[in-house]
Amino acid sequence: MSDTTHATSGPAEHDTSANRADATTAAANSVQAAVMAATTDDLPAQDAKREQHQDHSARTSQATQHSTQSRSPRQPRRPRRGKSLSPASLQLISDLKQWGHEQAFALWTTAGFILINIVWFMSFSMRHRVLPYRMLSTTLSDFDMARLLPSLILTRTAFQLVVDALLILLVLCIAEPLLGKIRTVVVGIVAAGVGTVLGLTLCAGISMLLGDTNSVNGIHFTLNPVVLVIGTLMAASAFAGQLWRRRIRIIGYVAILVVLLYGGNPGDYCALMAAIVGQILGRIMAGPPKERDQWHWQHSSSYEVRRIFCAIGIILSLGPIVATTSRSHAGPLTAMALIMDTDDISHTLLRECLLGERLQGCMTQFEIVRTSMPGNIVHSFLPLVVLLILSWGLLKGRRTAAIFTITLSSCAALATLYYYLLAPLSMQQPGTPVDLQLTPTAISNCVINTIVPLAFAIALWIELRHFNIRTDRKALRSGALITIITFVVCAAVYLVYGAIWSDTFFPQPSFARLLADLPSRFMPLGFLTHSRLSFIPVTWFASLLYQGIGVVFWVVMVIAAARWMHTSDESDRKARDLAESLVEQGGESMSFMTTWEGNDYWLSPTRRSAVAYHALNGIALTCTGPFGDPEEWMDDLDEFARFSSDHSWAPVFYSVHQEARDHLALQGWHSLKVAEEMIIDPTTWKTTGKKWQDIRTAINKAKREGIVDEFTTWDECDADVQDQIVEISEQWSSGKELPEMKFTLGGVEELKDPRVQILYCIDADGVVQGVTSWLPTYRDGQVIGWTLDFMRHRTDSPNGIMEFLIARMAQRMHDWDEDNPDQLIEFVSLSGAPLTGLDSPADATSDDDSNMTGTTMLQHSLAFVANMLEPAYGFKSLYNFKKKFQPISKPVYLCYADSAALANIGIAILRAYLPGLKASQIPSMLSSLK
């Protein structure tokens, strides 16, 4: 961001210097928030917040004394003198001590766990003995509780000790502040005990149902220290806020199920049942959540949906690694990963198997040969790297990542069906009964191996609307082309070499056999566990080619995927970069919304101005009017209309002001008032008089309750405040029967722009009660106004929070103007509630009589949509709320030229505001809005 931008975004710091005068204290508080965010601070538990922020009252008290004083927003910070200038390191040590005091239970428990295991390790090391795995394991057929119980607190390796200790510390730091020490201990013991009994019973029942009792009963298994604490985590989720309750349960259960499905250790069943028992106990203790806190998985914000899908994608990507490191290899998904075998190759047996002279033990030999080749192992793990890259892309909202993840997951499901069903049948020898090839275990594994990736692909397809960031088409085409060329070249080299020098393989393959073997050169080994090996290389060059073509292909695929995830649409990126600069040169109150994701851009011939639009239903629907050089704005209206017509779109200008409406009316356009923008003049702001009684009451109530406001940016917020803002947003969006609205309504992602200012209020316990965001309006690089966008509060926040925040914003700008007459803030816009101001037929005006009926019909249609959405989103209530501040009303119009496009215009507006609305959601929406 340019120096000019910094200079003109001054109000961001207005009235906050009292809270940040001491730079070292601010730094230490940020560190403390970051440390605590890894434990209890991410959870919206009031008790944990009070413990974490017990020193916040002193700071907020000081802020209250200064909150009504006028200061320069970018006033240089003056360090305090005296004891407050202690080194930041001492402050950090103090904060860590405070955190250690608050998390004493978790720290002492984890330390005890580590100490017991160190003593355990040293007792064998001093006697020069290796840790006996069998000493901590048992089997279902020869069950020994005395061996099983110690595995709850003893580990077998140093690596396991580190991982388990970190998990125990994390879980207890989350659970204990919510449950308390006694309930944490009781729930952990009860959930582990009951879960172990139920888990082993479930494992035995499933193995009996699948006819696999003998193999399962002989598996040596242990429990895991995590079984002792997983129940407390799920119980604590019942006391957590909506956002973290959802995260804990979804990610927790997905992680447990992946370990269970890929590993298959009977102890994994115990962890699953311990989690379920813990959740039941938590529900009994906490009771049902409040009705207003209920959520629906389809109604989450894009921000949260992306994070959840990313987490699930990462867990599923790492699943094959779980299978390869599992001691039991009994999970239903184990066959999807590498099958590591420690046995040696029997060359005599392998030769007989390759020549078809023997069947017994051949599959084992084939698996040993495959896994003994380094190239096969490498090209089996490279697809996991691709999946991890795609998961990162899901987090960033990349549509390409979502589509490729869907494609790969679907291909995995299809490959499973082939290699579990078709491949065994095709390899069946004459006289071999079919039931030997399709056992109940094979069928059940096939079903699970197919359902898991297919379910993930379907869920991702349903939520595809949340992934709208496009990849540069040129990069996408070039990457796909290079990947295809690499595959063709590798395949051709392998086939040509095999056909010419077939004597370098044993037995010598025909071209048909080479062609049939080709797919296996690129597939991970897990897909080949039920397929025969036709031939093997016998020379070093043949072996290099045999193993290497798959590695080359997947390396190229990894590079291409990484490039796709880092490259946005080139034209869109360049246009967006230019829009970012143009909006700072000139714009109207809502012009900053044009910088949001989802907009396409038309640039003027001089590239000094632009128009942001959405192409929907054959309509080019603008976000607002032109921005950039004001001298070009009227010409831009005409040029954009021609541009839209060239692309077979009907141009529609949405949320434009009177000047643009009048210009278009001269061209024969029709107009409709869709909202009224509420404007506050900071220079005349005051709250005296009877009509301001509600506002004064809200301000005084906030002061009495120790609530203060903070004016800052997202990056300057503490991690804890950021998490609370996300939680407040999730409370709001998850309580709707409709998806989160977009277009001219911003969400959490839009808060992160450093030019957007955030005004939030926080109480004495450190709980954020409400938050607003303010979009800048520029003229020649200087901020001249602020527009309200994001406005949400907790479901249980005190009445008057929003009145308090807006009043404080107006007062801040009033004070700023008095102190900075050369950098006046000309207006504070409360924006306009979408689809309001549509009730009066007189508003449906036209420049001629030819379209009066059509304009009225569109007005009534939009009014119907607004009335239908009113119970869920409260547009009219918001409209009436903003009138409390005695603003100046300015009409906002929708302008269109083609009356034949009226139906499409209405659908385009609805799709712009509700891009995720599907036909299947309409019945549920209507029933909830009755």
The yes-or-no verdict on residue 902 having pLDDT over 60 is: yes
Averaged over 881-902, what is the pLDDT? 83
For 858, the domain range is: 584-676+837-873+890-930
The yes-or-no verdict on residue 660 having pLDDT over 90 is: yes
Cβ atoms of residues 546 and 501 within 8 Å: no
Rounded CA-CA distance 530/336 in Å is 11
In this structure, is residue 29 part of a structural domain? no
pLDDT of residue 847: 39
Domain count, the chain: 4
Averaged over 192-210, what is the pLDDT? 83
Cβ atoms of residues 230 and 252 within 8 Å: yes
Considering the domain architecture, whether residues 400 and 533 belong to the same structural domain is answered as yes
Domain boundary, last residue among 768, 802, 825 = 825
The yes-or-no verdict on residue 497 having pLDDT over 80 is: yes
Considering the domain architecture, whether residues 238 and 257 belong to the same structural domain is answered as yes
In this structure, is residue 65 part of a structural domain? no
Domain boundary, last residue among 568, 594, 613 = 568
Averaged over 89-110, what is the pLDDT? 78
Considering the domain architecture, whether residues 635 and 743 belong to the same structural domain is answered as no
Smallest CA-to-CA distance from 121 within 168, 159, 169 is with 159
The yes-or-no verdict on residue 914 having pLDDT over 70 is: yes
pLDDT of residue 341: 40
In this structure, is residue 731 part of a structural domain? yes
Considering the domain architecture, whether residues 729 and 777 belong to the same structural domain is answered as yes
Considering the domain architecture, whether residues 700 and 686 belong to the same structural domain is answered as yes
Averaged over 512-539, what is the pLDDT? 73
Domain boundary, last residue among 230, 260, 286 = 286
Of the pLDDT bands very low, low, confident and very high (cuts 50, 70, 90), residue 508 is confident
pLDDT digits (tens, 9 = 90+) for 731-781: 776 655 555 667 777 888 888 899 999 999 999 888 999 999 999 999 998
pLDDT of residue 889: 87
Averaged over 14-33, what is the pLDDT? 38
The yes-or-no verdict on residue 727 having pLDDT over 70 is: yes
21-35, 152-166, 319-333: which has the minimum mean pLDDT? 21-35
pLDDT of residue 346: 55
Considering the domain architecture, whether residues 596 and 614 belong to the same structural domain is answered as yes
In this structure, is residue 216 part of a structural domain? yes
Averaged over 898-906, what is the pLDDT? 75
In this structure, is residue 484 part of a structural domain? yes
Cβ neighbours of 923 (radius 10 Å)? 9
Averaged over 104-119, what is the pLDDT? 91
Considering the domain architecture, whether residues 729 and 849 belong to the same structural domain is answered as no
Considering the domain architecture, whether residues 779 and 848 belong to the same structural domain is answered as no
Averaged over 675-704, what is the pLDDT? 88
Residue of 680 and 744 predicted with greater confidence:
680
In this structure, is residue 777 part of a structural domain? yes
Of the pLDDT bands very low, low, confident and very high (cuts 50, 70, 90), residue 11 is very low
Averaged over 489-494, what is the pLDDT? 92
In this structure, is residue 73 part of a structural domain? no
Considering the domain architecture, whether residues 820 and 842 belong to the same structural domain is answered as no
Beta strand pairing status for 782-793 and 827-829?
A: parallel
The yes-or-no verdict on residue 33 having pLDDT over 90 is: no
CB-count burial class (<10 Å; 0-12, 13-18, 19+) for 524: buried
CB-count burial class (<10 Å; 0-12, 13-18, 19+) for 804: buried
Of the pLDDT bands very low, low, confident and very high (cuts 50, 70, 90), residue 833 is low
72-76, 147-151, 379-383: which has the minimum mean pLDDT? 72-76
3-state SS track over 435-458: HHHCCHHHHHHHHHHHHHHHHHHH
pTM: predicted TM-score of the whole model, two decimal places: 0.57
Rounded CA-CA distance 762/769 in Å is 6
pLDDT digits (tens, 9 = 90+) for 793-831: 888 888 889 999 999 999 999 999 898 888 899 999 988
Instruction: Spell out the alpha helix ranges (H) of 688-819.
Output: 693-704, 719-734, 748-751, 801-819
Residues 6+ apart with CB under 8 A from 780: 585, 586
Instruction: Write down the mean pLDDT value for the chain.
Output: 75
In this structure, is residue 305 part of a structural domain? no
Of the pLDDT bands very low, low, confident and very high (cuts 50, 70, 90), residue 716 is very high
Rounded CA-CA distance 593/909 in Å is 16
Segment of 414-428, 480-494, 739-753 carrying the highest mean pLDDT: 480-494
pLDDT of residue 84: 46
C-alpha neighbours within 13 Å on the C-beta side of residue 45 = 26
Residues 6+ apart with CB under 8 A from 429: 359
Considering the domain architecture, whether residues 545 and 559 belong to the same structural domain is answered as yes
Considering the domain architecture, whether residues 387 and 496 belong to the same structural domain is answered as yes
Here the CATH number for the domain that contains residue 777 is 3.40.630
Rounded CA-CA distance 780/798 in Å is 41
Considering the domain architecture, whether residues 621 and 533 belong to the same structural domain is answered as no
CB-count burial class (<10 Å; 0-12, 13-18, 19+) for 96: middle
